[in-house]
């Protein structure tokens, strides 16, 4: 089957989602990172980036919030760019853990690898892999420049968030050293943890995340800047990582109900990839018990279902207008 979807239908679906969920009061801000507990819980933005570079934005889509775990996708891409798909599979893995994002149990159960770059353990490992190994400053430059390429504009470090997170990241410190115990940290553990914490503290907008998602959906070419960010062969690898574990222990429920691979962060952002068609992002701080934004989930699900889209469906669709 094939069908055509117009840009105005996409805009209408996004507008309806925004209206329908903007007053939803479900969920609660992350409170284990003090900075996030104090963010205005009413913020809500949606952004869709089409592969011709146009963006459809609603609400607080240019509000700069903590990227948090969505950055795991970006740095996984950097590791893939620097090492290639096979080495990333060997050095980190590409499996679901079925457990919360910060699980120590997951490492103990799988001590042969940290499972995936999209949970805390694998993301800290990915930071340890970033080249040049041994230089914190140069590694940081590479991380920021990769995120800038993907988003088409630079993220801004939220210093208060970085301090807040550094002062409270005891669980992640245990993860870094446990990984060291299993020879799964490829640089200094404290430096790798600091890079991970800093990248989570980068401020980003929903619009920027939708552009990054569209770059993945567009085989590595940023649809806004037209820059080739990564080799096209990496796109399906990235999307498969996101599909497998983007919502941690709730990933199956998410894919089943939304039909789109997406990655969440405790800052309230969600970034979804519709390969060959668009990138979508929504942002709202209150989270469910797994650390996934309640309103962002509702909005993206609504848009996908309203448009009748799913990466698992056989319908081939074209966007027109």
Ligand X SMILES: NC(=O)CC[C@H](N)C(=O)O
Question: Does the footprint of ligand X cover residue 120 (CB under 6 A)?
Answer: yes
Residues 257-296 contacting ligand X, CB under 6 A: 265-266, 291
What is the total residue count of the chain?
321
Tell me whether residue 211 or residue 266 sits nearer to ligand X (CB atom).
Answer: 266
Contact residue for ligand X among 61, 97, 102, 222 (CB under 6 A):
102
Report, in Å, the least distance between residue 8 CB and ligand X: 34
How many other CB atoms are there within 10 angstroms of residue 57's CB atom? 18
Of the pair 149, 165, the CB lying nearest ligand X is at 165
Q: From 110, 10, 127, select the one nearest 74 (Cα to Cα).
A: 127
Task: Give the β-pairing of 316-320 and 278-283.
Answer: unpaired
In the three-class reduction of DSSP (H, G, I as helix; E, B as strand; rest coil), residue 228 is classed as: strand
Least Å from the CB of residue 184 to ligand X: 17
> Which one among 39, 56, 63, 68 touches ligand X, defined by CB under 6 A?
68
- Specify the residue, 78 or 309, whose C-beta has the smaller distance to ligand X: 78
As measured in angstroms, the least distance from the Cβ of 105 to ligand X is: 15
> Do the Cβ atoms of 60 and 45 come closer than 8 Å?
yes
* Of residues 95 and 165, the one with the C-beta less far from ligand X: 165
200 touches ligand X by CB under 6 A: yes
Q: Which residue's CB is nearer to ligand X, number 129 or number 319?
A: 129
Cβ closest to ligand X, residue 8 vs residue 177: 177
Q: Where are the alpha helices (DSSP H) in 47-135?
A: 71-83, 85-91, 105-109, 120-129
Query: Which residue carries 């329908």 as its tokens?
Result: 20
Of positions 172, 192, 218, 297, contacts ligand X by CB under 6 A:
172
**Element housing 56 (H / E):** strand 55-59
Shortest reach from residue 265's CB to ligand X, in Å = 4
End-to-end CA distance of the chain: 20
**Does residue 45 interact with ligand X by CB under 6 A?**
no
| Closest separation in Å from C-beta 26 to ligand X | 18
**Torsion angle of the four alpha carbons 73, 78, 84, 88, in this order, in degrees rounded to the nearest 10:** -50
Q: Closest by alpha carbon to 242, among 155, 311, 143, 159?
A: 311
Q: How far is the CB of 104 from ligand X (least distance, A)?
A: 12
Q: Which of 69, 205, 215, 222 binds ligand X (CB under 6 A)?
A: 69
Task: Tell me if 243 sits within 8 A of 254, measured CB to CB.
Answer: no
DSSP helix/strand/coil, 317? strand
Task: Please give the annotated binding residues for substrate, written as ranges.
Answer: 69, 120, 165, 172, 196, 248, 266
Residues at the contact surface with ligand X, assessed by CB under 6 A: 68-69, 101-102, 120, 165, 172, 200, 265-266, 291
């Amino acid at each position: 089957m094939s069908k055509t979807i117009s840009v105005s239908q996409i805009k209408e679906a996004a507008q309806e989602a925004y209206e329908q969920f903007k007053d939803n009061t479900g969920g609660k801000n992350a409170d284990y990172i003090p900075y996030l507990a104090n963010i205005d819980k009413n913020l809500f933005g949606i952004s869709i980036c089409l592969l011709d570079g146009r963006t459809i934005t609603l609400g607080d889509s240019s509000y700069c919030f903590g990227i948090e775990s969505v950055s795991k996708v970006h740095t996984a891409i950097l590791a893939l760019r620097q090492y290639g798909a096979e080495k990333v599979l060997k050095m980190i893995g590409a499996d679901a853990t079925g457990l919360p994002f910060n699980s120590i149990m997951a490492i103990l159960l799988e001590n042969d690898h940290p499972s995936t770059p999209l949970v805390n353990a694998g993301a800290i490992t990915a930071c340890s892999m970033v080249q040049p190994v041994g230089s914190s400053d140069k590694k940081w430059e590479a991380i920021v420049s990769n995120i800038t390429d993907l988003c088409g504009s630079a993220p801004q470090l939220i210093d208060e968030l970085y301090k807040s997170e550094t002062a409270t990241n005891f669980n992640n410190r245990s993860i870094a050293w446990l990984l060291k115990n299993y020879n799964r940290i490829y640089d200094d553990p404290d430096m790798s943890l600091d890079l991970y914490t800093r990248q989570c503290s980068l401020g980003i907008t929903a619009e920027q995340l939708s552009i990054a998602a569209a770059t993945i959906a567009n085989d590595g070419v940023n649809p806004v800047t037209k820059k080739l960010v990564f080799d096209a062969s990496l796109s399906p690898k990235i999307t498969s990582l996101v599909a497998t574990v983007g919502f941690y222990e709730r990933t199956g429920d998410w894919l089943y109900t939304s039909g789109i691979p997406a990655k969440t962060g405790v800052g309230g952002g969600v970034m979804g990839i519709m390969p060959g068609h668009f990138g979508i992002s929504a942002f709202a701080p209150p989270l469910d018990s797994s650390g996934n934004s309640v309103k962002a989930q509702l909005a993206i699900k609504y848009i996908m279902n309203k448009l009748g889209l799913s990466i698992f469906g056989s319908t081939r669709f074209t966007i027109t207008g």
